[in-house]
């Protein structure tokens, strides 16, 4: 964490408050930073991630937009080309599809097709993932879509401190960043977060727990589930190392390999569907790079290959502590 050492003051914040704190901190430092999206102004965002920003920075910098995701992302691109640093909010990941044309056909490609003339310093934030029992289309976890689209950086914090440092860094990046916020843990816990500006570099995972028998790899809300499993495993004498990836692209492959070299076993956990989920990519990378060091094949605990279910069965969809523990046992017994 750069600059964090110089911080003396801290504030106890939830993850969503840390997002808001990051936006405010960076908007105070850099006039080019704009916030735009549906309900981000007067309402402060449906999750309150932009609360207070309209009052502090005014409607020129905090824009309630018409209800149109393609419009939001497409105009954010124009603003970025013309010198601003827009932070666009998509209200839920399940509503990003109208903007996919802009994201995939333009945002991801602009630097390359202008041979560096038009880099896009812009962030597209969106809450993602299950666990809050909402109606249809409010629980999606399709990070793979963005990871399979070259040109987009993808960040997923799982703690308030990481959320703030990663978001400020994302805003300062010269490339477009998809910033995925695990809404399930928006308010799950509070943490002392440094008050001023600090950054966490993209592409550095965090070792959330050290261990020696097996490496558990997760991001976002699943980092919490995996941590809980690791605590439970201690009672069985299993020492699990927990890696919270924080950034999915660029991926901290060295960090992953370093851990798996030590443990010889790995379990990847994500709530996205299994088929071509990012777990498949991570497992393949580990197998390719450490074919002789593995004690067992890399295991996956994932969501199912179906539409994210309605609230009455949603808890059966999401990976649970017990499913993670079962996968660890299988890996140990291999």
Ligand X SMILES: Cc1ncc(C[n+]2csc(CCOP(=O)(O)OP(=O)(O)O)c2C)c(N)n1
Q: Which residues of this chain interact with ligand X, rule CB under 6 A?
A: 38, 67, 69, 91, 95, 98
**Cβ contacts of 56 within 8 Å, gap of 6 or more:** 24, 27
Q: Which does 275 bind (CB under 5 to 8 A by kind): another protein, ligand X, none?
A: another protein
Q: How far is CA 333 from CA 216, 257, 297, in A?
A: 16, 21, 11
Tell how strand 177-182 and strand 62-64 pair up.
unpaired
The verdict on whether 138 is a catalytic residue reads yes
Q: 250 preceded by cis ω (within 30°)?
A: yes
Q: Which does 307 bind (CB under 5 to 8 A by kind): ligand X, another protein, none?
A: another protein
* Cβ(333)–Cβ(327) below 8 Å: no
Q: Site mask, another protein, residues 78-107, x = CB under 8 A? A: ----------------xx-xx---------
Is residue 310 at the binding interface for another protein, with CB under 8 A as the rule?
yes
* Cβ(141)–Cβ(302) below 8 Å: no
Which of 256, 151, 150 is closest to 203 using CA atoms? 256
CA 23 to chain centre: 16
- Smallest gap, in angstroms, from Cβ of residue 277 to another protein? 12
Q: Which is nearer to ligand X, 100 or 285 (CB)?
A: 100
Dist. CA 181–CA 127, nearest whole Å: 4
The three-state secondary structure class of 128 is strand
Q: Which does 219 bind (CB under 5 to 8 A by kind): another protein, ligand X, none?
A: none
* Cβ(108)–Cβ(150) below 8 Å: yes
- Smallest gap, in angstroms, from Cβ of residue 320 to another protein? 9
Q: Which is nearer to ligand X, 129 or 255 (CB)?
A: 129
Q: Which does 82 bind (CB under 5 to 8 A by kind): ligand X, another protein, none?
A: none
Q: Which of residues 137-166 bind another protein (CB under 8 A)?
A: 137-138
Q: Select from 63-71, 120-128, 254-262, 282-290 the region that touches another protein (CB under 8 A).
A: 63-71
Q: Which is nearer to ligand X, 95 or 304 (CB)?
A: 95
Residue of 133, 137, 138, 316 marked catalytic: 138
Q: Which does 309 bind (CB under 5 to 8 A by kind): ligand X, another protein, none?
A: another protein
Q: Site mask, another protein, residues 271-290, x = CB under 8 A? A: ---xx---------------
Q: Select from 129-137, 146-154, 230-238, 248-256 the region that touches another protein (CB under 8 A).
A: 129-137
Q: Which does 311 bind (CB under 5 to 8 A by kind): another protein, ligand X, none?
A: another protein
Q: Which is nearer to another protein, 154 or 318 (CB)?
A: 318
Q: Which does 165 bind (CB under 5 to 8 A by kind): ligand X, another protein, none?
A: none
Which of 269, 150, 147, 151 is closest to 208 using CA atoms? 269
Give 241's strand partners.
215
Q: How far is CA 314 from CA 46, 95, 139, 303, in A?
A: 21, 19, 9, 10
Q: Which of residues 214-273 bind another protein (CB under 8 A)?
A: none
Q: Which is nearer to ligand X, 38 or 140 (CB)?
A: 38
Can you say whether residue 66 is alpha, beta or left, with left for phi > 0 and alpha for psi between -120 and 50 degrees? beta
Dist. CA 104–CA 279, nearest whole Å: 22
Phi then psi for residue 283, to 5 deg, are: -60, -45
DSSP 26: H
Note the residues at the interface with another protein (CB under 8 A): 38-39, 41-44, 46, 64-71, 94-95, 97-98, 133-138, 274-275, 304-307, 309-314, 316-317
Instruction: Indicate which residues carry an active-site annotation.
Output: 138
């Amino acid at each position: 964490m750069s600059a964090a050492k110089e911080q003396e003051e801290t504030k106890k914040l939830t993850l969503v408050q840390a997002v808001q704190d990051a936006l405010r901190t960076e908007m105070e430092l850099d006039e080019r930073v704009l916030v735009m999206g549906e309900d981000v102004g007067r309402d402060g965002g449906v999750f309150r991630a932009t609360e207070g920003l309209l009052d502090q920075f005014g409607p020129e910098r905090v824009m309630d937009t018409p209800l149109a995701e393609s419009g939001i992302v497409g105009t954010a691109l124009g603003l970025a080309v013309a010198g601003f640093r827009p932070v666009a909010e998509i209200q839920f990941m399940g509503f990003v599809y109208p903007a996919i044309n802009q994201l995939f056909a333009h945002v991801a490609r602009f630097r390359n097709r202008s041979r560096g003339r038009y880099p896009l310093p812009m962030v597209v934030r969106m809450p993602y993932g299950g666990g809050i029992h909402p109606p249809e289309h409010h629980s999606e976890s399709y990070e793979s879509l963005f990871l399979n689209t070259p040109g987009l950086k993808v960040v997923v914090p799982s703690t308030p401190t990481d959320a703030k440092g990663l978001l400020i860094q994302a805003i300062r990046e010269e490339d477009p960043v998809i910033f995925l916020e695990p809404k399930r843990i928006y308010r799950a816990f509070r943490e002392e977060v440094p008050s001023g500006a600090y950054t966490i570099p993209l592409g550095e995972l965090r070792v959330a727990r050290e261990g020696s028998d097996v490496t558990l790899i997760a991001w976002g809300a699943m980092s919490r589930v995996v941590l809980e499993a690791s605590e439970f495993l201690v009672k069985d004498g299993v020492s699990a190392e927990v890696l919270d990836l924080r950034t999915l692209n660029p991926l901290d492959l060295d960090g992953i390999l370093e851990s798996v070299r030590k443990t010889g076993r790995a379990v990847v956990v994500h709530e996205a569907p299994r088929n071509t989920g990012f777990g498949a990519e991570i497992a393949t990378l580990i197998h390719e790079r450490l074919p002789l060091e593995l004690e067992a094949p890399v295991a996956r605990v994932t969501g199912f290959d179906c539409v994210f279910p309605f609230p009455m069965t949603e808890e059966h969809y999401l990976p649970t502590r017990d499913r993670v523990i079962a996968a660890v046992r299988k890996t140990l017994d291999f």
